[in-house]
Amino acid sequence: MTDNPAEVVRYRTEGPVAVVTMNRPRYRNAQNSAMTYALDDAFYRAAEDPAVKVVVLAGAGDHFSAGHDIGTPDRDIDQTFPRRAGLWWDHVGRPGAESRFAREEEVYLGMCRRWRDLPKPTIAMVQGACVAGGLMLAWVCDLIVAAQDAFFADPVVRMGIPGVEYFAHPMVMGPRFAKEFLFLGERIDAQRARELGMVNRVVPRADLEPEVMALAGRIAAMPALGLALAKKAVNQVEDVMGLQTGIDSAFGLHQLAHAHNAEVGADSLAGHDARTMRDAQRDGTPGS
């Protein structure tokens, strides 16, 4: 069954809070380009609406997001979408690494950077899987509130790739643990993520939405400009600490890995798809 593109992302407001919901629960909210651009529409709408003070990013169903779409019937990597994150040319019809670089720069990295700087506080509301590309969406939010059933992993080293495109790992969990996280590719639970400073709060699954909405409501009582400037101040400090240049340098290595895979093997993902990655993670993670 294919998605109805109009429903790939849902948008609603509750008072001063906009709730943006990824809506491909059948595929654990795997992100295709249709979803990326629908998310961008939703964030832009929230940014423009003066009545919206805080934005919540959610995933419909049992999982926040299992990552980028690497195998659903609606995978759309060969489609053209109007570019917004940068002025690089369209990837469609371009050969080899050029196509991959152009697409990932726009659809993954560029969009995440764009959303990270949305001038209103954002809260990721995470349950279940928050894996690979799912991490990127949680990380670009200002706060992360996780249900006790949430788990986090970036298993792409198994593909020979040094982490997902938005390479914030050392910044969000510290360089020492970032290496373990990448080397093993195993899941960490919500409590561990909180101990690492990656997650603000962990709550029972049933309390996730009410807790997030209450938190959003308290933040929304603050002046909009004060919130925007506080956010920008912290983001600027992260940038001074090297977040953006680190991401740029890692993105080059990420593209090298894709190109190496394509050059020596079957494809840029070293022959993996969503199923083999999920199975490998199950096998490699005790108790999961």
Binding site for Zn ion (CB under 5 A): 104
281: its two tokens = 């993670």
Nearer to Zn ion, 114 or 205 (CB): 114
Q: Nearer to Zn ion by C-beta: 62 or 248?
A: 248
Paired with 236 in beta bridges are none
Which residue, 69 or 104, has its beta carbon nearer to Zn ion? 104
Count of C-beta atoms within a 10 Å radius of residue 279: 11
Strands (E), the chain: 9-14, 17-22, 54-59, 122-126, 129-131, 143-147, 151-153, 188-189, 201-203
In three-state secondary structure terms, 195 is helix
Residue 194 Cβ vs Zn ion, minimum distance, rounded to whole Å: 28
What DSSP character marks residue 175?
Answer: H
We find the least distance from the C-beta atom of residue 254 to Zn ion, in angstroms, to be: 6
CB of 7 to Zn ion, least distance (A): 26
Strand partners, 18: 13, 55
Q: Which is nearer to Zn ion, 229 or 253 (CB)?
A: 253
Q: Are 210 and 201 in contact (CB under 8 A)?
A: no
Question: Shortest distance, CB of residue 156 to Zn ion, whole angstroms?
Answer: 8
Give the closest residue to 152 by CA, choosing from 117, 178, 171, 113: 178
- Report the residue number, 127 or 261, with the smaller CB distance to Zn ion: 261
Of all residues in the shown chain, the one whose CB is closest to Zn ion is: 104
Task: Report, in Å, the least distance between residue 46 CB and Zn ion.
Answer: 27
Q: With respect to Zn ion, which residue has the nearer C-beta, 21 or 255?
A: 255
What 3-state DSSP class applies to 9? strand
How far is Cα 77 from Cα 86, in angstroms, rounded to an integer?
17
Take residue 84 and report the two structure tokens written for it. 């917004």
Q: How far is the CB of 229 from Zn ion (least distance, A)?
A: 34
